[in-house]
Amino acid sequence: MPQTLVPEEMNVYQNAEARFEVAADKLGLEQGLYRYLKYPDKEITLYIPVGMDNGQLEVFIGYRVLHSTVRGPGKGGIRFAPDVSLDEVRALSAWMTWKCAVVDIPFGGAKGGIICDPRKLSRGELERLTRRYTAELSDWLGPERDVPAPDVGTNEQTMAWVMDTYAMHARQATNAVVTGKPIELGGSRGRREATGRGVMICVDKAMAKLGMKKESTRVIIQGFGNVGSLAADLMQKAGYKIIGLADIGGGLYNEKGFDVPKVIEWVYTQKKPLQEFPGGGVKMSSRDVLFQPCDVLIPAAIENQITEQNAHKVQARVLCEGANGPTTWQADAVIDAKGIFTIPDILGNAGGVTVSYFEWVQDRQGFFWRESEVNERLLDVMERSFDEVVRYAELHRVNNRIAAYMLAIDRVASALKLRGIYA
């Protein structure tokens, strides 16, 4: 097994690779399997021409990386952001493979992204960009091939365009090609809240394990999008006290706690900046919110937020990663040394892909479940997965992150051994 390379701290792909290597080493993974699982199956780069509203022709760069189809079709979101890179999409696609294996759902891993700033594009431009990207990928996507979903900068509407474009090329209605769709088009009840709900279920389990009471437990959440705002809302309803919130425009800290539905109304209905929320408490940068006193810290925005330089400032007892890759490899050791109970991203935010799996199942059956059924099944998957990761960590004397990777790699490697290599 190669020596673990120290990753360049802000390179998410190297961060993912370093954790994979530690876990593979602990598992004693055979050399051949190690080599196979380390690299993605396929990487596609696209140059996407789009006619802009002003009459100019613009070319955007997009990617789709299929990391693994060993346990099932590729699965993973599409990200629209200015700083998308191939390395980032590669890392995110590998995380999807491990995440689907941690929660034991029959998918591999994939991810896509387009370098663009969706806030600066009109609805028409976004639609044309999404459709051309999907059309270029139409041979690679499909319910049995690769199934996209929303991620940062994309939403239900984007998924509706993906579905429609694919269906036009396939010459048949194919709603199972994409998840995170509007309910009217075959989306699942409960999908919108699923990632936030999964975060809450993991935190509930951590509370029980650590003998803490959730009532009045102080929670800070960075990121107020799909994951962060819905985690905040669900957790407040369940009795947690949300004392810190942040989005890209800045953060707010209020020891008295936020009335989350009012903040959601302010940000999403009134379209006002989160940081200007009336009576919102102390203003600070979105990064600084992470370092305020609290019991549970939930980074739910972007990568590389907790680093070797700042990890010592985290004051939480529990760190539950709603975002993918918010903590760097270098920061892990600092967080461990502080005795912070970590719920790693590939477990903490797996509620989203779990309900995406339910959506795919419902679409293929043409039979749709009640929201309570979706939530009950999600609870079941998340609780079982949490228990399995924690048991693995205790058994192998590793932290929860390495345990989650070990569990996942073991499952993918077993499936690969059963399939054998077609050569």
Q: Which residues bind ligand NAD (CB under 6 A)?
A: 150-153, 195, 222-228, 246-248, 286, 300-302, 322-324, 349, 352
CA dist 194 → 176, 224, 396 (Å) = 18, 15, 30
- Cβ of residue 258: shortest distance to ligand NAD, in angstroms? 14
Find the radius of gyration of the CA atoms of the chain.
20
∠ CA 214-218-219, nearest 5°, is 100
Whichever of 72 and 322 has its CB closer to ligand NAD, that residue is 322
Which of helix, strand or coil describes residue 342?
strand
Give, as one character, the DSSP assignment of residue 291. G
In the complex, least distance from residue 139 CB atom to ligand NAD, rounded to whole angstroms: 26
Nearest position to ligand NAD, beta carbon: 225
The first and second tokens of residue 308, run together, are: 């070797």
Q: Residue 398 phi/psi, 5° resolution?
A: -130, 170
Q: Are 149 and 107 in contact (CB under 8 A)?
A: no
User: Cβ closer to ligand NAD: 40 or 351?
Assistant: 351
Amino acid at residue number 32: G
- Specify the amino acid at residue 292: Q
Residues 6+ apart with CB under 8 A from 7: 14, 15, 17, 18, 328, 329, 330
- How many other CB atoms are there within 10 angstroms of residue 172's CB atom? 8
Q: Are residues 403 and 390 in contact, defined by beta-carbon separation less than 8 angstroms?
A: yes
Residue 110: CB atoms within 10 A of its CB come to 33
Hey, what long-range contacts does 125-130 have (CB within 8 A, 24 or more apart)?
125/50, 125/52, 125/53, 126/80, 126/158, 127/161, 128/50, 128/51, 129/48, 129/50, 129/60, 130/154, 130/158, 130/161, 130/162, 130/165
Tell me how far, at minimum, the Cβ of 232 lies from ligand NAD, in Å: 11
The number of angstroms, rounded, from the C-alpha of 380 to the middle of its chain's C-alpha atoms is 19
CB of 194 to ligand NAD, least distance (A): 7
Residue closer to ligand NAD by CB (options 120, 397) is 120
Nearer to ligand NAD, 34 or 253 (CB): 253
C-alpha 183/C-alpha 399 separation (Å) is 38
Q: How far is the CB of 387 from ligand NAD (least distance, A)?
A: 21
Residue 111 catalytic? yes
Report the C-alpha gap between 282 and 321 in whole angstroms.
Answer: 24
User: 147 with 64: CB under 8 angstroms?
Assistant: no
Tokens of 79: 């990200």
Q: How far is the CB of 35 from ligand NAD (least distance, A)?
A: 27
Q: What is the DSSP letter of 121?
A: S
Q: Which is nearer to ligand NAD, 114 or 413 (CB)?
A: 114
- When the beta carbons of 50 and 199 are compared against ligand NAD, the nearer one is 199
Q: Of 149 and 207, which CB lies nearer to ligand NAD in the complex structure?
A: 149
Q: One of 75, 111, 205, 241 is an active-site residue; which one?
A: 111
Q: Shortest gap between Cβ of 28 and ligand NAD (angstroms)?
A: 30
Tokens of 372: 């309570």
CB of 330 to ligand NAD, least distance (A): 19
Pairing type for strands 42-51 and 57-68 reads: antiparallel
Q: Which is nearer to ligand NAD, 27 or 153 (CB)?
A: 153
Catalytic residues: 111
